[in-house]
Amino acid sequence: MTVEQNFEALDQFPAGMRVLAVDDDQTCLKILETLLRRCHYHVTTTNQAQKALELLRENKNKFDLVISDVDMPDMDGFKLLELVGLEMDLPVIMLSAHSDPKYVMKGVTHGACDYLLKPVRIEELKNIWQHVVRSRCDKNRGSNNNNVGEKRDGSGNEGGGNSDQNNGRANRKRKDQYNEEEDEERDDNDDSSAQKKQRVVWTVELHKKFVAAVNQLGYEKAMPKKILDLMNVEKLTRENVASHLQKFRLYLKRISGVTNQQAIMANSDLHFLQMTSSLNGLDGFHHRPTTVGSGQFHGGTPGMRPFPSNGILGRLNSPSGIGVRNLSSPPAGMFLQNQNDLGKFHHVSSLPLNHSDGGNILQGLPMPLEFDQLQTNNNNKSIAGSSMAFPTFSTQQNSLIRAPNNLVVLEGHPQASPSGFPGHQINKRVEHWSNAVSSSTLPPPQTSNSIHHQFDVSPLPHSRPDPLEWNNVSSSYSIPFCDSAATDTTNPGAFSRNTDFDSNANAQPGVFYDSLQMRQSGNYGPTTDAAMLSNNPKEGFVVGQQKLQSGGFMVADAGSLDDIVNSTMKQEQSQGELSGGDMGYGGFSSLRTCI
Amino acid sequence: MQRQVALIKQSLFDQGYLDEQFMELEELQDDANPNFVEEVSALYFKDSARLINNIDQALERGSFDFNRLDNYMHQFKGSSTSIGASKVKTECTKFREYCRAGNAEGCLRTFHQLKKEHSTLRKKLEHYFQLARQAGPKETARRPK
């Protein structure tokens, strides 16, 4: 939207808000249109999802909000939802006659900002503009961070603290944003300032750097300013980093929170990136050249290294080195992605990473290629409705993708509930990620056998193995689980591994990682290892590693993210040595606060 | 005349053919959209006739693909709800239940009933709109007392 347009629209906002309504039922569409007009919105309608996508792609700034029916003949409403979220980063409201909570949940996990039941009433439509404001504020927050980096004091609590402020300022900001796009003098907190919105695309490489920096600093101590310094990227502002970090944390938290075996692993990475990418409109999502919206998971996306099957993660990692973008959000899950169900991460990523800076949180995540794939997949697919953000992953093994709500991504993996590992895992993952990313050549999952080795990942927790190392290491790791996973999406082997691990792992947050690792088989190398370790402490593979680090993590039955985080954090702290502080995430606590 | 129109409308509500949703639609009708309700009704009947045809064919085939039938019905129900066609909606729900139970005979029976309700409603509404048009556009927008 141009400033001028926005400006005008803003004046009367919410009147004049541009809505795109999609519903194959002509009767409902007409009624909806009239209702919307009655609310003084500017309405465009179409009864075909494809047409809607075209309209949106034609000009992203043409619409403020999309309302879509769920049951449509030419495309699943959820799929459209994901695509729109990823590509255009617009708020989408789902509409359906289904009041079944499963559908509502699906809508939420696919990124819908609201779910309305038919027949829709005008009262409900009168308030839908709030979603637009909210998403703008979030974006502003992200961009403000970028702009106001310098101005702001280097407050460590990016995201967390600011969000409050941001919210408070949201409304004000929104208007400000419109009116004062260039207002760089805003002294708001990182998030709230309505500064010029600069979308930073968190490419895989960038994310890798980010993750590496976080690891280096230590998850807990990771402050945007320091991360920024470490990353040493031109034109990246503290706000960018702060918001990305926030997302990443949220993502990790979310991932760890999704204990479902399925979801977290696979989805997290991809999800993270996806999530973020959706925010960013998928630009950087994985750098995957694949067209977003192509709906297909790039199973083998470019660069995706080892993960052939899991494409998703692979994509995440591969294309540009795993630009786990908004890693912040995806909790451990992200890393876990490596599992076959990278897609799982995807689900997990339902995290609100919709930061403008490119929701590709996952991208940056070192999650071995898998993430990459996931990401890319996610991005492209984003939606595939099937929770599979990471299509590649879930496909085979885990049906993660299908995970009911993206969250679950890891379905296949019994252990998928990585949620347990939050802190620890994340760190590991981060490292993994960065490693993975850096070494875009993540060792193909083939090493499945060596999986166990991977858990040696010790390098992970302790030291920040340079990315390359990680990869090397990971390669061996990831494979164990992934045996076949890496190579083919359906790594039954990989799954099995997980399952085996699951015995313990599943319960644990670590499981997530395990699953991921396993799945990813190869790429995950570093990350997966962590996961693996954490997941199956018992397994032995990881145990070594995990035990060290997350002794506590994994075990936790990651029933809830909080638990995981807590346990992770505790673990982290107690295991200082383990994590070596590298894992930045050690400090889930910080994550917590952020979230 | 207007009173007559109002009475007819009232009876439709009383008899359960229409529900509050219809009233909502009427609220939407205004000068800018003087025949909104009628237009929507026309759309509805056109759409639903097509759906009914599809369902008829599916049933005639005797294959009883419950999933598909359920899908059709879901759609039908959606639009019936949007327009406030209460009785039709009820039949839709029943039909779907039979589908889920795999009860072919129940489906057939219900569908038959549904078609009946549908055409009854159609006639009544057409009559109503006709009168309303005669009575004058503004009057039709009034809610039944």
Q: Is the pLDDT of residue B131 over 70?
A: yes
Judged against a pLDDT cut of 50, whether residue A49 lies above it is answered with: yes
Percent of chain B at pLDDT exceeding 70: 93
pLDDT at A450: 40
Give the Å distances, CA to CA, from A113 to A98, A132, A196, A459. Answer: 17, 9, 24, 40
pLDDT at A364 over 70: no
Per-residue pLDDT, averaged over A387-407, amounts to 39
Tokens of A63: 């619409």
Answer whether B36 touches A (CB < 8 Å).
Answer: yes
Give the mean model confidence (pLDDT) for residues A234-254. Answer: 81
Residue A22 has phi, psi (to 5 degrees) of -125, 125
Average pLDDT of B15-35?
82
Q: Does A74 touch chain B (CB under 8 A)?
A: no
Q: Inter-axis angle of helices A129-148 and A261-280, to 10 degrees?
A: 80
**Residue numbers in A near B28 (CB within 8 A):** 31, 34-35, 38, 122
Q: How far is CA A121 from CA A28, A310, B82, in A?
A: 12, 43, 10
Chosen from B40, B70, B82, B122 to mutate, greatest number of chain A CBs within 10 A: B82
A530, A425 Cβ separation under 8 angstroms: yes
**Average of per-residue pLDDT across A455-466:** 41
| Burial of A307 per CB tally in 10 Å (0-12, 13-18, 19+) | buried
| pLDDT class of A511 with cuts at 50, 70, 90 | very low
Count CA atoms closer than 13 A to B54's CA, side-chain side: 15
* Predicted local distance difference test score (pLDDT) of residue A276: 53
Tokens of A161: 């603290």
* Residue predicted with more confidence, B68 or B143: B68
Highest mean pLDDT among A142-146, A147-151, A260-264: A142-146
From the list A292, A381, A319, the residue with the least C-alpha distance to A345 is A381
Residue B127's SS3 state is helix
Q: Which of B 54-73 lie inside 8 A of A, CB atoms? A: 71
pLDDT of residue A43: 92
Query: Which residues of B are less than 8 Å from A122 in CB distance?
Result: 24, 27-28
Return the pLDDT at A21: 92
Q: Which helix (H) or strand (E) holds A568?
A: helix A561-574
What pLDDT, on a 0 to 100 scale, did the predictor assign at position A44? 92
Q: How many residues does chain B have?
A: 145
Higher per-residue pLDDT: B55 or A340: B55
- Is residue A177 a contact partner of residue A192, using CB atoms and an 8 Å limit? no
* A48 has a pLDDT exceeding 50: yes
Size of interface A-B (CB pairs under 8 A): 55
- Other residues' Cβ atoms within 10 Å of the Cβ of residue A306: 38
Residues of B in contact with A96 (CB under 8 A): 78
Determine the pLDDT at residue A111.
86
Contacts of A73 in chain B (CB under 8 A): none
The answer, for B21 touching chain A at a CB cutoff of 8 Å, is yes
Tell me the average pLDDT across A226-233: 81
pLDDT score of B105 more than 80: yes
Q: What is the CA radius of gyration of chain B?
A: 16
pTM to 2 decimal places: 0.44
**B44, closest residue in chain A (CA to CA):** A27
The Cα–Cα gap between A319 and A372 comes to: 7
Token pair of B145, please? 């007392």
Largest CA distance in chain A: 64
Inter-chain CB proximity A34 and B33 less than 8 Å: yes
pLDDT tens-digit map of A267-302: 444 455 555 544 444 443 344 443 433 333 333 334
The confidence band for A45, taking pLDDT boundaries of 50, 70 and 90, is very high
HSE at residue A573, side-chain half, CA atoms within 13 A, is: 10
On whether any CB of chain B is under 8 Å from the CB of A38, the answer is: yes
pLDDT digit string (tens) for A560-595? Answer: 445 544 545 554 444 444 444 344 444 444 444 444
- Matching residue, tokens 């992203």: A60
Task: Determine the Cα–Cα distance for residues A520 and A373; give it in Å rounded to an integer.
Answer: 10
pLDDT band at B72 (very low <50, low <70, confident <90, very high): confident
Both tokens of A138, joined, read 């979030």
More confident residue, B115 or A266: B115
Mean confidence (pLDDT) of chain A: 56
A460: which 2 tokens?
A: 């992970």
Q: What is the pLDDT of residue A232?
A: 79
- CB contact at 8 A, A337 and A374: yes
Q: H/E element holding B5?
A: helix B2-14
Residue A331: DSSP 8-state:
B
CB A539 within 8 A of CB A504: yes
Q: How far apart are CA A70 and CA A81, in angstroms?
A: 9
**Structure confidence by residue, pLDDT tens digits, A53-66:** 888 888 878 888 89
pLDDT of A493 reads 38
Closest chain A residue by Cα to residue B74: A97
Residue A473 has pLDDT above 50, yes or no: no
Give CA–CA dist A117/A108, Å, rounded.
14
Confidence of residue A196 (pLDDT cuts 50, 70, 90): low
Whether A553 and A502 have beta carbons less than 8 Å apart is answered as no
**More reliable by pLDDT, A243 or A373:** A243
Higher pLDDT, A61 or A512: A61
Using a CB-CB cut-off of 8 Å, the residues of chain A touching B79 are 25, 27-28
Would the pLDDT of A478 be above 50? no
The position carrying tokens 């969000």 is A163
A160-182 pLDDT, tens digit per residue, is 444 444 444 444 444 444 444 44
Contact A499, A479 (CB under 8 A): no
Residue A546 has pLDDT above 80, yes or no: no
Tell me, yes or no, if B28 comes closer than 8 A to chain A by beta carbon.
yes
Structure confidence by residue, pLDDT tens digits, B93-104: 888 888 888 888
Can you tell me the ipTM of this complex?
0.86
Instruction: Give the orientation angle of helix A422-438 with respect to helix A509-520, to 10 degrees.
Output: 20
- DSSP reduced 3-state for A67: strand
φ/ψ of A117, rounded to 5, equals -100, 145
* Whole-number average pLDDT of chain B: 82
CB contact under 8 A, B82 and A38: no
Choose the most confident range, by mean pLDDT, from A44-53, A360-369, A419-428: A44-53
Q: Is the peptide bond before A14 cis (omega within 30 degrees of 0)?
A: yes
CA distance A97 to chain B (A): 6
Nearest by CB to A35, which of B28, B43, B79?
B28
